[in-house]
Every structure is written in structure tokens, then in C-alpha cells.
Structure 1
Amino acid sequence: MPHKVLFLTLKVFGFTGGIEKVCRSICRSLYDLGEENIVEPTVYSMYDKYFDRDSRYLKKQQYHAFNEHRKYFVIKSLLKGIRSDVVILSHINLLSIGYLIKRFSPKTKVYLLAHGIEIWRKLPEPKLKALKRLDKIIAVSHFTAERIKSIHGTKEDKIEILNNCIDPFYFFPTKFSKPKPLLERYQLHPDQKILMSLSRVVSSEKYKGYDNTISILPHLIKKYPKLVYLIAGKSDDEEKLRLEKLITKHQIANHIKLIGFIDEAEITDHFLLSDIFVMPSKKEGFGIVFIEAMASGLSVIAGNKDGSVDALKNGELGKLVNPDDSSEIEKTLDELLKSPLNDNEKIALQKKVLKAFSYEKYRESIKKLIVYGTSYIMLL
């Protein structure tokens, strides 16, 4: 008989952040495993609306959107959860529901996805008790796993590391010329060197590393007078104002553009527009944006003190730098600007990324978790 699996989420289709991308990959995994009659999947989303569903990831009958009706979501999740074999929680904010399911149905396996900063904080005693009641915590990187062990005292055998994957429908470009519509939109020339960062540009996430990149831009401009830095991502007013003051301070207004939110359909084109993706973050849980950039043939610079290390395979796929060392970031940027990847090297990078973070490998790990209770098992 197929395993009854309930996947509880906050959002899947109504937002395009990293956690939502992970959720979509899990949804498609459940979809595929349902076609193989290995699982009988159900996905409940607290905040999504029913028409948000993308049919590539889930069938209509597998998906239930609760349109922010929290109490109804909790009640339905509890009733469905105690009749399920496995419950997967997409976020620590769903921990209390998982705890109740374990109380009423101890035989039900309950797993929590641990992405990053949301689980690195100290937890109140009731939440910590609920965390310890879970069967497994699935950490997206070694860094996140270590933080969970050190902060919450979680035993090692309760944690599994499962790196995120490339979305099964991600577009892999085969030609790497800079898209003309974007060159025109941002008033750029094909021969200009372009740096890019992509993250939420908000006052609560200053750890993303664009401050250090801005600070070294004046030095790089002396060597590369046409250099432009694109900072992409939805911003709040406070952070945008702060960045504008930094830009004025460093006198680099002609070399930096705050381009705001990028539609999901245009992300690959923005990677193709750029020469280097630079985001030396200090608190990245994993960094799906890194593997997407590399899958588009883009050189990447990331920080060496967080989950980015997993995304870059310990430096095998990109450059890892000390995010607090501006001179190291500048030196690494200079090296990459001097020796850009050719098309064959970009294709080789794509192949390495796909091998390391393929959806097929990810789906197999989800299957093992559901069927055997661990993704570490080796099947003959």
C-alpha cells in the first residue's frame, strides 16, 4: 500500500522565495512518487489560494489551499495528520501542529525542514519540547545542522542533511549571449562587465554582503571603468534609503543600479546578463540562488561562513571568500573579471551543478525518507 504523506506548508505558489522553491521541489517529488504508487500525497498550504496551484507540481486533488484561514488549516491538518504515515513540516512555524499530531498519533512520523535563520534562534521551552518530539529534522546544509545541534542541543541521529536541488523545471540556457531587451532596459552595453546580487533588500537582512561589494566598487572601477553592479530583489524603504546614501558616499551612482523585484520568468536572463554573481553572505541557510546562477553558467562568489559552502560544494563550483574581508572579496572579483568563463567552461559548470544538485537525486532522497525513515540508506 502507498504511504500516506501529508506535507504542511505556509506558502508554495503564492511567493517565490527560497523556502517556497524548496516546497515546490518537494511537491513535485510527491507528485512523481504518487504516480509510482509509492505515496498517497496531500499538500495543505495555509496562505495560498486555490488558484495559485501550478499543475506542473501538484494535481488538483493533491492540493488544498486555505487562503489564510489559520484555524481551519490547523484543525484539518491535525485530523489529516493523525491518519497519515508521514507528515512533513515545511517551516518551524508549523511545529506546534506537528507536536499535536505526535501526541495523538505517536506512530506517525513527523519531519521538519530546517532552512536557516528561522531555526537558528533560541526557542521558548514549549517549542524546544516540540522540536525534541519530532522524528527527524531535515537540514538543508551542514552549517544549518551544526547550528541546530549547538543551539538546541539536538542529538546528531535526529538530524539529516539534505541539500536543496535545482527546480525540475528550471531552464538551462545553451547560449550565453547577454539578452538585448535587458541591455536596453538597464541602458547597458554588451562589452560592460556586470556584477549581480539577488536577495531580499530589507533592513532585517543586512548580512547578505552587498555592503562590502559596494565599498570595494570604487577600487574596481579604476581597473574596469565600465563596471556596473546590479542589486536585484524586492526592497523596503528603510534599506533602499540606506543603500542610496552608501552609493552617494562612495560616488558610484553611475556604476550601480537597484533594479528591484525580478519576475521568476526573467531570473535566468538576468544571470545571462551578468558576468559574476557576488553575494558573500554570513547567514545563508543554503542559497538556492547560487546553484541557479551556476546552472546558468555564471561565476559565483559566496561567503565561507554559512550554508553557501554546501551550495558551492566547498569551493568546487565557485569561489568562497571571507565575507568580512573586503580585500579578499576585491581580489577574487578582480581574478574573475580578468579571466571570464568561456562558453565551454560555462557548459562544464552547468553539468557539475546538475550532477551535484539534480532534482532526480533529491526526489530519491525524499522517497527514502518516506519509505525507510532516512535518506542515508544505500540501496543495492
Structure 2
Amino acid sequence: MPIKVLFLTLKTFSLTGGIEKVCRSLCRVLYDLSEEELLQSTVYSMYDKNTDRDSRYLSKNQFHGFNGNRERFVIQSFLSGLKADVILLSHIHLINIVYFIKKIHPHKKIYLLAHGIEIWKKLSDSKLRMLNQLDKIICVSHFTANKIMEMHQIPASRLEVLNNCLDPFYYLPRHFDKPQILLDRYHLNHDNTVLFSLSRLSSSEKYKGYDHTIELLPQLLEKYPNLVYLLGGKWDAVEKKRLDDLIGVNHLQKHIRLIGFIDEAELTEHFLLSDIFILPSKKEGFGIVFIEAMASGLRVIAGNKDGSADALKNGSLGLLVDPDDQEDILNGISLLLKHDQTNKEKKNLQEECMQAFGYKQYLNSIRTLLLNEQISSNQI
């Protein structure tokens, strides 16, 4: 008899952030396991519309979007949760919905996905009580798991580390030439060495480290005068002004392109255009963008004080630097710039990344988890 799984999300298809990417991959897992007749899966999204659904990840009868109608979402989630064998929560904000379900059915399995900053901060007493009643908290990195133990005193036995995977439909390049269309768009040529960062550029999230890279450019340009820094991602007005001022003070207008939002369809091409992806963050829960870059054959520099270490396999796939040490970041960039990647090296990096973070491994881990077997290799 297939088990009934209910997956509750905030947004899955209407945004392209890290949590939404995790939700989409998990939706595809639920679809595949339903095809194997191991489970019956239903996905509810509070803010998506039904028309937002991407048919590659879920069939029509598996998904319901509530288009922001929170009351209907909560009521329907509660009623469906009473009938489910397992409830998966994509976010800590959804935890109150299952509080009374757990009271009524204490043996019902309820799992929470824990990503990063949303669960590291101080929680209300009611959320903490519910957190302690969950059967499993599925953490995207060892850093997130350690934070939860440290901040909320959750025992290690209730935590499971399951790294995020590369989206099963992510476009993997077979060739690694720089796309001419992007060279033309950004007024670059093959002599340019391209550093690339991609992040939400928010005045409230000054921990991504892209401003450190900007500040280091004058020193790097002394040795690499053809260096160009592409900084992608949506910005708010306050952060855009701060960055423009920083660029102006350092006279870097010719060497930095603030390129804004990048469509998913062009993401791989931007990695191919670049020579190094750099984001020395301090509060990354995992960092899917790192594995997307490496799956495109691109070398990565990340911070060594957060979940980025998991995404880079503790430095075996990329270079970890101290995000608070400008000299360390500078040395890391300089080290990689001494050597141009060969196509063979790019292909090897791509293959190593897929071995570590491919969809099939993720599918098998979720299958094991939902069938009530512990992922022994990922114990805290």
C-alpha cells in the first residue's frame, strides 16, 4: 500500500530562489516515487497559482496552488494532513499548521526542511515546542544542523543532513566555449578574465561578500588589467546606490557590470562566460548556485564559515576562503588566476560535481527517508 505524503510549501514555481529550487527538486522526487507506486503525493503551495505549476516536476492532480489565500491553504492543509501518513514542511513558517495534527495523531511522521537563516534566528516558544515534536529536521548542510543544535537545543538524533541536489533539468553543457552572444552583450572579448557573482543584492543581507570582491579589484587590476567583474542578481534601490558609490570611489566603472536579474534559461551560459565564480558569504545555508557553477565546469571560491563548505565538499571541489579576511580572499583569487582551466579540467569538475550532487543520489536519499530508514551515512 503506497504511503500518503503531503508536501506543504510557500512558493515552489513562482520564484527562482534557493528554497524554491529545493522544493522543485523534491516535487520531482515525489513524482518519481509516485510513479514507482511507493507513495501517493500531494503538494500544496500557499502563494503559487495552479497555472504556475511546471509539468516537468509534478502532474496536474498532484499540485494545488492557493494563490495567496492563506485561510483556505491552512484549512485544506490541516484536513489533508489528518489523512496523510507523512507531512513534509518546506519552511519553518508552516510549522503551526501541523501542531494540532501532531496532538491528534502523535505517531504521524512530520518532517521539516531546514535551509538557513530562516531557522537560525530566535523562534517563538510555540515554534520551539513544535520543533521539538517533529520526527525529523532535514538540514541542507552540516552548518545548518549545528546551528539548530546550538540555538534550539535539538538533539542530533532528530536531525538529518541531506545536501541539496542539482535540479534534474539543469542544462549541463557538453562544450565549454564562451558564448559570443554574452560577450557582445557585456562588451567583452576573449582577452577579458571574468569574475562572476550571482546573489540577491539586498541592503538587509550584507553577508554575501560581493562588496569584498569589488574592494579587491584595484589590487587585482594591477596584475590583470583585463579583469572584469560581473555581478548578477536583483537589487533594491538602497543597495544599488551603495554599490554604485563603491564602484565610483574605486574608479571601477570600466571593470564592473551590474547585470541584474538573470533568467534561468541563460544561467549556464553565464557560468560558461566566466573564469571564476566567487561568493565569499558568511550566512549561506548551502548555496545551490555553487553546484550549478561547478556543474557548468566553473571554478568556485566560497566562504569557509557557513554551509558553503558542504557545497564545495569541504574544499575538494572548490576553494574555501575566510570571508572576513581580505588578504585570504585576494590570495584565493590570485591563486586561481595563475592558471587557466583546460576543457578537460572543466569536464572533470562537472563530473565530480554530478557524482556528489546529482539528482539520483537525492532521490534515493528521500526514498530511504520516507520509507522510515535512516540515512546512516549522513548522521550528525
TM-score over 0.5 (shorter chain): yes
- Displacement of 1:377 in angstroms is 7.6
2:130 is aligned to: 130
1:326 is aligned to: 326
2:169 is aligned to: 169
Alignment of 1:265-344 (within 5 A): 265-344=265-344
In the alignment, residue 355 of structure 2 is paired with which amino acid? K
Cα pair 1:85 1:107 within 8 Å, conserved = no
- Displacement of 1:275 in angstroms is 0.4
Q: Which string of whole-angstrom CA distances, capped at 9 and with x for unpartnered residues, describes residues 182-219 of structure 1?
A: 11111111220000000100111110001111111000
Q: Which string of whole-angstrom CA distances, capped at 9 and with x for unpartnered residues, describes residues 210-229 of structure 1?
A: 11111110000111111100
Identity level (%): 60
Higher mean alpha-carbon deviation, 245-254 vs 98-107, is at 98-107
- Displacement of 1:107 in angstroms is 2.2
CA distance in 2, matches of 1:185, 1:98: 49
TM-score, length-normalised on structure 1? 0.98
Q: Which string of whole-angstrom CA distances, capped at 9 and with x for unpartnered residues, describes residues 95-152 of structure 1?
A: 1012222122222100000000000001111111111111110000000000000000
2:116 is aligned to: 116
3-state SS of paired residue (2:371): helix
3-state SS of paired residue (1:6): strand
1:183 is aligned to: 183
- Displacement of 1:58 in angstroms is 0.2
Cα pair 1:25 1:167 within 8 Å, conserved = yes
1:201 is aligned to: 201
In the alignment, residue 251 of structure 1 is paired with which amino acid? H
Alignment of 1:1-380 (within 5 A): 1-376=1-376
- Displacement of 1:4 in angstroms is 0.2
Q: Which string of whole-angstrom CA distances, capped at 9 and with x for unpartnered residues, describes residues 323-344 of structure 1?
A: 0111111111111111021000
CA distance in 1, matches of 2:146, 2:204: 23
Cα pair 1:89 1:98 within 8 Å, conserved = no
3-state SS of paired residue (1:205): coil
Q: Which string of whole-angstrom CA distances, capped at 9 and with x for unpartnered residues, describes residues 80-109 of structure 1?
A: 011100000000110101222212222210
- Displacement of 1:250 in angstroms is 1.0
CA distance in 1, matches of 2:94, 2:57: 22
- Displacement of 1:375 in angstroms is 2.7
Task: Report the aligned-residue RMSD.
Answer: 1.0
CA distance in 1, matches of 2:375, 2:366: 7
CA distance in 1, matches of 2:11, 2:78: 18
CA distance in 2, matches of 1:191, 1:15: 36
3-state SS of paired residue (1:253): coil
- Displacement of 1:374 in angstroms is 2.8
- Displacement of 1:373 in angstroms is 4.9
Cα pair 1:142 1:307 within 8 Å, conserved = yes
TM-score, length-normalised on structure 2? 0.98
